[in-house]
Amino acid sequence: MAARKIKSALISVFHKDGLDEIINLLDQYDVTIYSTGGTQKFIESHGVKVERVEDLTSYPSILDGRVKTLHPKVFGGILARRDEDHLGQLAKYDMPEIDLVIVDLYPFEDTVKSTDDEEAIIEKIDIGGIALIRGAAKNFNDVVIVPSKNEYPMIQKILAEQNAESTLADRKELARRAFKVSSHYDTAIFNYFDRDSDDVSFKHSLIDSQVLRYGENPHQQGIFFGELDTMFEKISGKELSFNNLVDVDAAVNVMSEFVDSDPTFAVLKHTNTCGIATRSTVVEAWHAALAGDPVSAFGGILISNTTLDLATAEEINKLFYEVVIAPEFDQDAINLLTKKKKRVLMKINRWHVNDKSFKSILNGVIQQDTDKSMESSDKMECVTDAQATPQQLSDLEFANKCVKHLKSNTIVLVKNNQLLGMGCGQTSRVDALRQAISKATAFGFDLEGCVMASDAFFPFPDCVEIAHDAGTAAVVQPGGSIKDNLSVDYCNSKGMPMLMTGIRHFKH
């Protein structure tokens, strides 16, 4: 059962490139070839004899080619075990054994990408091909399946180097690849039909995978599942690591809040925003973002919401960083930044944030709706006597966007649409505030007149007291504590506006 000679083959492929070498090898080993339509004509054009499937089945290709190979005389020869019982049935019904199946499916995904014509898309859902793949893969003990042109090198090796004899290990490996192809194909079709659904299923194929250099640490294996090239055009640089991808995801999530803002630049480190600012030009935004924490910026991820020009490229080129992302790059900026070969430049094609988020925990996975809520200043409720000024409202909205994307517990301090200091990942909100104040003062910022945002409510008035003493002039928070009135009363006593959003932004 281990080694089996290939004596017959069924070939039905959409793309013909690379097939000529295989059919010449099959002909060399006197393999009987069955085929249909365009594949049959291609093989005959190379002077190789072909048995027509319609002669085998006594039925022509019908329904505009939708039914060609779907027949017992085809699938009987593929699915039959090579034992006395099954071989006897093949002989009784005059069905040939088929030892090798080569299939290349209709290009469904390419069609989806190239047109919105649903009729054309539906016609590229392969029926016979996918059935042939599954049938041959199921019977891997006796049959060789080549489910796509990606496997052509393996079948060429079997034919040329093994004298057309496949081992059980060969057949089982090709069956594994076949079920990967069929799983991916079915998932792509499902995703097409599911694109407007509210179903909680994954919207992306988990079959597309890329093995990474390692995971978070060198002793951990890492794999990325997904289609990164639908979101980005990678202009240059080394292969993205596990940590790079996690940081890039965080950067895109943050900057998605500022897509329609004036030029905005952000610096992230370990998924947390350590600097971000909005200015009239992108280079000014870069300088203001970097000032937020020039120490943490070293080795970070940089992202802009607008075209990265030469002036900005010259400035960021002075810093070591892993990845820079922008919707566009001026060509002279590309010429400069690509001089360092390992540096990754990524052009973002669309600001996509998944509707659902997932996390592996315990012996399962938890899922939730992605936090896409963002409260504009006109939706915030002022709960104090003092009202925020227009500049404070702008800063409070900016701060609320920042605080949403930092690990809880978190506090941010903002002035003039610039992150001055942040405290994140702390076990108490007071610790987060003290960290934010410490970082801001360490980098020379004057906190007088800044605003503060919190990811969750204040259970006690201690945070607003500390913030006011440090110079904070206005506060935004979700509210919802049974002791909200204590914080509100304190703000009223100091003439400090407090706004509440009603929306908590925990991030664990």
Q: Give the residue numbers annotated as catalytic, written as ranges.
A: 138, 270
Q: Residue 255 has which token pair?
A: 């900057």
Give the orientation angle of helix 19-28 with respect to helix 37-45, to 10 degrees: 70
Return d(Cα 212, Cα 262) in angstroms, integer: 36
Return d(Cα 447, Cα 468) in angstroms, integer: 10
164-168 LR contacts (CB < 8 Å, sep 24+)? 164/5, 164/6, 164/25, 164/26, 164/29, 164/31, 165/3, 165/4, 165/5, 165/6, 166/3, 166/4, 166/6, 167/2, 167/3, 168/1, 168/2, 168/3, 168/140, 168/141
Find the helix or strand (DSSP H, E) in which 402 lies.
helix 390-404
Return d(Cα 401, Cα 457) in angstroms, integer: 16
Please state, in angstroms and as integers, the Cα–Cα distance from residue 385 to each residue in 38, 395, 450, following that order: 79, 19, 19
Return d(Cα 58, Cα 173) in angstroms, integer: 34
303 bridge partner residues? 266, 325
Angle at 275 between CA 264 and CA 408, to 5 degrees: 115
Please identify which residue in the block is written with the tokens 């919207």.
Answer: 203
- Residue pair 267/302 in contact (Cβ under 8 Å)? The answer is yes
